[in-house]
Amino acid sequence: MTSGERLLGGYAGRLLLVSSVGWAMIQAGRLVLSPMLPTVQVELGLSNVEAGIPFTVMWGVYALLQYPSGRISDRLTRKPLLVGGLVVAAVGFVLLGSAPAYPALLLGAVVVGIGAGVYPTAARALLSDLYVDRRGQAFGLHTASGDVGGVLAAGVAALVLAVSWRFAYPPFVVVLLLAAVAIHVWSDETYDLRRVDLGIAETLHRLLGNATTRRLLFAYVLFALTWQSSVAFLPLFLRSAKGLPPEIATASFGALFVVGAATKPVSGWVGDSLGRTRVAAGSLLMGAAALAVVVRSTWTAAVILAVLVFAVGLMAYPPVMQAALMDAFPDASMGGDLGGMRTVYIGLGSLGPTAVGLVADVAGFGLAFIALVGCLLVAGLVVAVYG
């Protein structure tokens, strides 16, 4: 696609739309557990560490599948991974919503991680096939759909908690299956199913053989630690450590994604115009400063405002950095290379929720979130210097 063509419309626009709807539903189903976590903890009798483990499991399995799904999509086609990922994620949400005890909750987290894991790298590789000059804008719109999912998660959680947290999942299951059908019908690709050489050694050499790429990967790991820990525990942190009422804590969690949905397309556009790593570094430093205010302030209005600014900084980063990485990867391996990067930074980042839960049990949420401020600050400086 050239810059003279429309971003939305035609074959590319349809696939951008439906792949984004699918990503929104996957994100909504994963994120809805966070605002419902206090209720789930009480019903299943979980400590903060036990509450963090399902998030680590979900994100960890998700991370492990990023590289193979990207590599397979490069060697075969994107379509089977997209359709299969949506269907498996739907099954995982059914298991989560019907879990009678903690082990079943963990099983549901594993299945969700599998479905979610095979989907996003193939989706981003598909968008890279369809868009070139407007790749940053396409990535901005697509990643913003995940924030729409976060808004839906907060809204659905607020609606169902008066009845039962288990009712949150059926709407996401239905839309996921409809999105799978739409991709099956609209995509011109075939279901190419053959054995694929994963080429792990050569991919690791491309990713780790370059000093700049290693440093950017380190920065992304620190970002992922902060992101995954924040979405897991922000509502509980605002309630227990900042004394916000449950309604305001849930609304603040939802606002994180409202801001993200608006920020990401703008970030992608600005990154295309002014430089992607420059925008990425600024967003990380902004997020660090805002999260420090959230942790230290005792004034409710300041905390809420800082959460919104934190959201801008946090959410502006992924579209510009992922587009920058796609620019750097060879066309023949961009899906696998991005998947390899995502496996590392999401996999290591998945340890964040369990670590934050452990620190919170021992020393309180304040210290845990101050550590996240440090992660963002270091990541921003690394990108600014080496990006």
277-305 tens-digit pLDDT = 889 999 999 999 999 999 999 899 999 99
The rounded distance, in Å, linking the Cα atoms of 18 and 6 is 17
Q: Let me know the angle formed at the C-alpha of 262 by 261 and 267, rounded to the nearest 5 degrees.
A: 100
| pLDDT given for residue 223 in this prediction | 95
Q: Which residue is listed with tokens 């210290």?
A: 367
pLDDT by residue, tens only, the chain of 387 residues: 444 446 666 777 788 889 999 999 999 999 899 889 888 998 999 888 898 899 889 988 988 887 788 778 777 788 889 999 999 999 999 999 999 999 999 999 999 999 999 898 888 888 877 776 677 778 778 877 887 888 899 889 888 888 899 999 999 999 999 999 999 998 887 777 777 666 677 777 777 777 877 888 899 999 999 998 988 888 889 988 888 888 888 888 888 888 877 887 788 778 877 888 889 999 999 999 999 999 999 899 999 999 999 999 998 998 888 777 777 677 666 666 777 787 888 889 888 888 998 998 888 888 999 999 999 999 999 999 876
Q: For 10-190+199-386, which CATH superfamily applies?
A: MFS general substrate transporter like domains (1.20.1250.20)
Give, in order, the Cα–Cα distances in Å from 181 to each of 22, 86, 185: 11, 10, 6
| pLDDT given for residue 2 in this prediction | 43
The rounded distance, in Å, linking the Cα atoms of 36 and 32 is 7
Domain extent listing, the chain: 10-190+199-386
Supply φ then ψ for residue 311, to 5 degrees: -65, -40
Tally the residues of the chain.
387
Inter-residue contact 233 to 365 (CB < 8 Å): yes
Inter-residue contact 247 to 158 (CB < 8 Å): yes
Tokens describing residue 292: 């420090």
Write down the number of H helices and E strands in the chain. 17, 0
pTM assigned to the model: 0.74
The greatest distance separating any two alpha carbons of the chain, rounded to the nearest whole angstrom, comes to 58
Q: Let me know the angle formed at the C-alpha of 81 by 80 and 87, rounded to the nearest 5 degrees.
A: 90
| pLDDT given for residue 6 in this prediction | 61
| pLDDT given for residue 8 in this prediction | 64
Inter-residue contact 133 to 3 (CB < 8 Å): yes
DSSP class of residue 168? G
3-state secondary structure of 355: helix
| pLDDT given for residue 257 in this prediction | 81
The rounded distance, in Å, linking the Cα atoms of 91 and 104 is 13
